[in-house]
Amino acid sequence: MSLLEVEALDQFYRDFQALFGVSLRVDEGEIVAIIGANGAGKSTFLKTVAGLLRSDADAVRFDGNSVGGRPAYRRVSMGIALVPEGRRVFPSLSVEENLRVGGFGKRPGWWNLRRVYESFPLLSKLSTRPAALLSGGEQQALAIGRALMTNPRMLLMDEISLGLAPIIVKQLYQAIPAIVAEGTTLVIVEQDITQALGIAHRAYCFLEGRVSLHGRPADLTRDQIRAAYFGWR
Amino acid sequence: MTWVNAMVQGVMLGGLYALFATGLSLIFGVMRVVNLAHGVLTILAAFIAFFIVDHTGLNPLVAMAIVVPVMFTIGYVLQRLLINFTLGSGVLPPLLVTFGLAVVIENILLKVFSADSRGLDAGRIENVSIRLTSRLAVGWLPLTIFLVAVVLLVAMQLFFDRTTFGRALRATSDDAEAAQLMAIDNRHVYAVAMGLALGIAGVAGVFVGVRTTFGPLEGPVLLIFAFEAVIIGGLGSLWGTLVGGVILGVAQTLGAQLAPGWFQLSGHLVFLAVLAVRPTGLFPRVGAV
């Protein structure tokens, strides 16, 4: 049994269908990358797994439980955390308050304020600053730290490199081994293929709401990826 | 000296307006909803106090200890069973529903208590005053109301800044969806916020009843005063609400000093002047919508 099992998932925004029968599984301790072009349905997929969008109960199973109908705040308590697209830190709260809100659910685990500060040293220097005044990279680090404070079993990260300088992206990715070392399962959505495939054990490519390719990064050729990414034949 | 006296009375009155306004401001701050039923809910609290006093003979200020938790419960249930369902599809549904709610409560009060004016008798505190100089005195009751307003605002500030739930409230106010990703049930948070708002309205309602007479149809006037205090002070700012209330109160008492009929008018004029010069109010919250 895999930690996350998604089976024939459809998702809609009113009349528009965003996902078509997506099936995907993630084993405990794995790093799985989801790549795909803009509008391929990657963010919709993560939002559905995190519970911000509902689905059929059985379409999303986590640790053997059907969770598709449960609200996001209850899935967090089960150990699903999402670093949302666009960071979404709480602008009027200070850095430390943002992190403490992450600990609201009191889910036991390895992560706490001190350990997040150790993994992201730049945050500890900014602890009293309102999140609204942070740079993009600092906000992204805060968004990841805040998600870690929920002590997730599975962490979903949506485009953490979006709009950031390469050197900042590199720093953020350097924190990932520490996250994985604690046994946290990771699902990473990226448009930046190289970055994502570099650390993933397995990868899925989405195209227009469907899974167009999946496999281990080492087994995938550039031509296969290109075809699955852009839909070229 | 009559002018100084009018001013002091205005400041005290501002405390009462701050109590009206705090609940309104809290609800707007947390869920961006303008609760048009806030005035009549304050009147409802006064009638609940009246009912308790009528049946038990308690002093209304003691009855407040029952009124406030009752109002909190009403707020929590109202939010969970009604107002939560109006959220998420624009500003209009909550406006219409709270407007309708105001009409319904008003008519229930009319049916149960008739249109007669009522009052709450708090005993000696209504008549004793502190003499500041030979010609200037402050009544114990207005002073008590003012101090209670200040203490409540301090308590709210501490609650928002220092407690886990206060942080969750602010986080939900910033971004309700992101708050859900932090294990926060935003619908519960909204309901607690409404409970707090109506709990404060409960305090305000009892004070209104002790200070003056009240009837089922006086909700809209209280709502207007609350609005004006909130707008003058700046949306979403707790202390701005107190300043707004004081400015409104002073404008009214000074206006009444010029001519007795100018009590409300001068308050409205100051409100309009602030709206024209500083539409965001005197102390707008940073990043407020």
- Nearest residue of chain A to residue B184 (CA atoms): A73
The mean of the pLDDT values for chain A is 94
| Residue position matching structure tokens 């049994």 | A1
Question: Cβ of A132 and B184 within 8 Å?
Answer: no
Question: Cβ of A77 and B183 within 8 Å?
Answer: yes
pLDDT for B282 equals 84
Which residue in the set B170, B177, B180 is minimally distant from A93, CB to CB?
B170
Q: What is the pLDDT of residues B170-184, one digit of tens each?
A: 999 999 999 999 999
State the virtual CA torsion across A48, A53, A57, A58 in degrees, nearest 10: -20
Answer whether residue A233 shows pLDDT above 70. no
Q: What span, in angstroms and rounded, lies between the C-alpha atoms of A90 and A95?
A: 9
Q: What is the pLDDT of residues B264-287, one digit of tens each?
A: 999 999 999 999 999 888 887 644
Q: What span, in angstroms and rounded, lies between the C-alpha atoms of A61 and A59?
A: 7
Which residue in the set A51, A82, A97 is minimally distant from B167, CB to CB?
A97
| Residue position matching structure tokens 């419960």 | B73
- Nearest residue of chain B to residue A74 (CA atoms): B183
DSSP string covering A122-156: HHHHTTTSBGGGS-HHHHHHHHHHHHHTT--SEEE
Question: Cβ of A101 and B167 within 8 Å?
Answer: yes
Question: Cβ of B171 and A93 within 8 Å?
Answer: yes
Distance set, CA A55 to CA A43, A44, A60, A186, B133 (Å): 15, 11, 8, 22, 72
Q: Looking at beta carbons, which residues of chain A come within 8 Å of B235?
A: none
Picking from A43, A76, A90 by the largest number of B CB atoms within 10 A of its own CB, the best residue to mutate is A90
- Nearest residue of chain B to residue A102 (CA atoms): B182
Region label for A66, one of left (φ > 0), alpha (ψ between -120 and 50) or beta (otherwise): beta
Residues of chain B with pLDDT under 50: 286-289
pLDDT for A8 equals 95
Residues 82-111 of A with CB under 8 A from B: 82, 84, 88-93, 97-98, 100-102, 104-105, 107
Q: Which is nearest to B239 in space by CA: B139, B155, B140?
A: B155
Answer whether residue A67 shows pLDDT above 50. yes
Helix (H/G/I), strand (E/B), else coil: B135 = coil
Q: How far is A170 from chain B (nearest CA, A)?
A: 25
Q: What span, in angstroms and rounded, lies between the C-alpha atoms of B265 and B128?
A: 30
Which residue in the set B164, B175, B182 is minimally distant from A150, CB to CB?
B182
Q: Looking at beta carbons, which residues of chain B come within 8 Å of A132?
A: 286-287
Residue pair B179/A101 in contact by the 8 Å Cβ criterion: yes
Residue pair B173/B152 in contact by the 8 Å Cβ criterion: no
Name the strand (E) or helix (H) holding A210: strand A210-215
Q: What span, in angstroms and rounded, lies between the C-alpha atoms of A180 and A186?
A: 7
- Nearest residue of chain A to residue B177 (CA atoms): A52
Give me the mean pLDDT over the A8-12 stretch: 96
Residues in chain B: 289
Which residue in the set B174, B180, B183 is minimally distant from A93, CB to CB?
B174
What are the strands, taking DSSP E only, across chain B?
129-133, 136-139
Q: What is the pTM of this model?
A: 0.93
Question: Cβ of A76 and B183 within 8 Å?
Answer: yes
Q: Which is nearest to B102 in space by CA: B229, B224, B217?
A: B217
**Strand pairing class (A202-207; A210-215):** antiparallel
pLDDT for B132 equals 83
Residue pair B282/B47 in contact by the 8 Å Cβ criterion: no
Q: What is the pLDDT of residues A147-202, one digit of tens each?
A: 999 999 999 999 999 989 999 998 899 889 889 998 899 999 988 888 889 999 99
Tell me the one-letter amino acid at A8. Answer: A
Answer whether residue A68 shows pLDDT above 60. yes
Name the strand (E) or helix (H) holding A7: strand A4-13
Picking from A73, A82, A95, A139 by the largest number of B CB atoms within 10 A of its own CB, the best residue to mutate is A73
Residues in chain A: 233
**Angle made by CA atoms A27, A30, A35, in degrees to the nearest 5:** 100
DSSP string covering A148-209: HTT--SEEEEE-TTTT--HHHHHHHHHTHHHHHHTT-EEEEEES-HHHHHHH-SEEEEEETT
